[in-house]
Structure 1
Amino acid sequence: MKTHGSLSKVPAHAVANVRNDMYLMSEALRLLEKKHPIRFDAETAANVQAFARLLDHATKFIPLWVKIAVAIALGLGTMVGWKRIAITVGEKIGKTHLTYAQGASAESVAMSTIAAADMFGLPVSTTHVLSSGVAGTMAANRSGLQTATLRNLLMAWVLTLPAAIALAGGLYLLFRALG
């Protein structure tokens, strides 16, 4: 960066490396502050914090078009699949229908789990958390679980990551070939 003056003047072949270095520096500062706090004088501490903010601003952002595309995809997916999801979670995980108490318990556990994951910055799937909560209430109530549905849910959870990787990789190669 010092050589070129700004990120916009860095040659295209070097941008990825510069961004990666900026991200690594930001993470190093964050971890250093968290695990091994160093006591700086007030001016140096303010400069380090300002530098970390600038690094985060440059590397940890989501472009507007990505936010819009994700919102549209989630909205369309929910519009198309809501009924199947609701029936699977509410009626097909257990051998009996979900009672109000079981639903409230599953939702409370899901809310707490998602809030804790958010607090610690952990990635979780709200659908996985809620489905597990429903299965837990069915098991605790001795209502019985439908193993075929649980097996299908487990397979969907396991296969989601490799399928997403393959799809993203394929689209990347396609777009790179077109562009």
Structure 2
Amino acid sequence: MDPFLLMVIAIIVALLFDVMNGFHDTANAVATVIYTKALPPQVAIGMCALMNMVGPFLLGTAVAKVIATSIIPPERLTIAIVIAGLMGAIIWDLITWYYGLPVSSSHALIGGLVGSGLAAIGISGVKLGGLTNIVLALFISPVVGIALGLAFMYLIGRFIISRMSRERAHSIFKRIQVLSSAAVSLTHGSNDAQKTMGIIAMFVAVTYNSTPVIEPWIVVACAAAIGLGTAMGGWRIIRTLGERIGKEELSPSQGFAAETATALTIAVGSHIGAPISTTHVISSSIVGTVMAGGTGVLNKEVVLNILTAWVLTIPVAAVGAAISYFALKLVGI
């Protein structure tokens, strides 16, 4: 196949993954603000889409550079490997969306790249040092989310809610929760859209035998794709985060605490180039806010199902990517 045509096809697949990422992860920012009734659903999703588009332009491209250079050795990279990795991630995202499970598109993408790299090259097809650092960041971030969610909820309850009526506290946090929700969307766009930027930079580098560079047109295309996916809304996962993690619906103060914890964690990750999962951080932050009221109010069955899906994400995406790679080879790609 003509190398340029193959690159174009690959970029389209990457942007489809970016759309799926936005669709799958809409819940990250809007579940809390919808279920606390701080914003109507369509307004919340529209704001989320806009902030996801703006995010990549404000917080740099450090994450994209990590994705482009730290998983598969650039000199061993082929477009078929990356397309297969994306396909493995898309398949897992679709499965988990159907079951309403808030899993990480970041984990799925990394698992997909690992699976296709191993299928194509073997153990030398994966940079173990770079992969270790990425996976470490992905696993530490939920712990940070729980801790910050719990801490923020404790501070809010101790110093704000205890000093006013419940109704007044709800009214105040409904208003300021709009800002915290926007901050989550902004940081989600900055971190998650960058992963696809790194992928597209790989395609261009392979086609023209050059070093991966994050060009301005890549930033624009990925920002638009993730914004489009976000605007479509992922209602199955929104319901899980808004209704099912706790045995009671989230309060506005819980929503604010979880969103603030998430936005802070993701902003730091984007700044240092750590491709962490917004899904994992917001889910764990919500768990932290619920735990502030006692672990007895957690819906443990739902939390266990989510954790199981998290554990399965990398291996299942890797297997899907490996199968996709062999299928691509059969059709001559």
**Structure 1 vs Structure 2 CA RMSD:** 3.4
- Which of 320, 326, 329 pairs up with 1:173? 326
Distance 1:110 1:17, change over 3 A: closer
Q: Which amino acid aligns with 1:75?
A: G
Change (3 A) 1:171 1:61: farther
Partners of 1:128 and 1:178 in 2: how far apart?
36
Change (3 A) 1:178 1:136: same
Question: Following TM superposition, by how much is the alpha carbon of 1:127 offset from its aligned partner in structure 2, in angstroms?
Answer: 1.0
Deviations 1:38-68 (A, max 9, x none): xxxxxxxxxxxxxxxxx9x93324796xx66
What is the rounded CA distance, in whole Å, between the counterparts of 1:94 and 1:107 in structure 2? 16
Question: Hey, what's the Cα distance between the residues in 1 that align with 2:236 and 2:264?
Answer: 25
Among candidates 89, 97, 101, match of residue 253 of structure 2: 101
TM-score normalised by structure 1 residue count: 0.59
Specify the alignment match of 1:58 in structure 2. Answer: 210
1:149 is aligned, of 302, 305, 309, to: 302
Counterpart-to-counterpart distance in 2, 1:18 and 1:128: 29
For 1:164 and 1:88, the matched residues in 2 are separated by 22
Deviation at 1:79, TM superposition (A): 3.3
Cα displacement (A) at 1:163: 1.2
Query: Which residue identity does 2:286 align to in structure 1?
Result: V
Q: Deviations over 1:77-116 (max 9, x none)?
A: x737x21111111111011110000000000000001011
Alpha-carbon distance in 1 for matches of 2:297, 2:325: 44
How is 1:23-172 mapped onto 2 (pairs within 5 angstroms)? Answer: 58-61=210-213, 71=225, 75=229, 79=232, 82-142=234-294, 144-172=297-325
Distance (whole Å) between structure 2 residues aligned to residue 150 and residue 178 of structure 1? 41
Letter of the 1:146 partner, please give it.
N
State the one-letter code of the partner of 1:145.
L
Given residue 251 of structure 2, which amino acid in structure 1 is its aligned partner? T
Task: Give 1:130 deviation, angstroms.
Answer: 0.4
1:19/1:59 contact within 8 Å kept: no
Once the two structures are superposed, residues 17-42 of structure 1 have per-residue CA deviations (whole angstroms, 9 ceiling, x without a partner) of: 8835xxx9xx9xxxxxxxxxxxxxxx
CA distance in 1, matches of 2:274, 2:301: 29
1:58 alignment partner, SS class: coil
- Under a length normalisation based on structure 2, what TM-score does the superposition of the two structures give? 0.33
The whole-number CA distance in structure 2 between the counterparts of 1:17 and 1:99 is: 47
In structure 2, C-alpha distance between the alignment counterparts of 1:101 and 1:160, rounded to whole Å: 31
Distance 2:303 2:284 in 1: 9
1:174, CA displacement in angstroms? 0.5
Question: Within 1, Cα distance between the matches of 2:245 and 2:281?
Answer: 13
Unpaired segments ≥5 residues, structure 1 = 1-15, 28-54
Find the counterpart in structure 1 of residue 101 from structure 2: none
Secondary structure of 1:104 counterpart: helix
Are the structure 2 counterparts of residues 102 and 17 from structure 1 closer, same or farther at C-alpha, using a change threshold of 3 Å?
closer
Which structure ranks higher in relative contact order (CA pairs < 8 Å, sequence separation ≥ 6)? 2
Counterpart amino acid of residue 306 in structure 2? L
Unpaired stretches in structure 2, ≥5 consecutive residues: 1-71, 77-126, 131-204
Query: Percentage identity across aligned positions?
Result: 38
Residue identity matched to 2:279? T
Partners of 1:125 and 1:113 in 2: CA distance: 10
Residues in 1 aligned to 2:282 and 2:273: alpha-carbon distance in whole angstroms: 19
- C-alpha separation between the residues in 1 aligned to 2:236 and 2:265? 24
The secondary structure found in structure 2 opposite 1:59 is coil
Q: 1:71 to 1:167 in 2, by over 3 A?
A: farther
- Does the 8 A contact of 1:95 with 1:144 survive in 2? yes
Greater gyration radius: 1
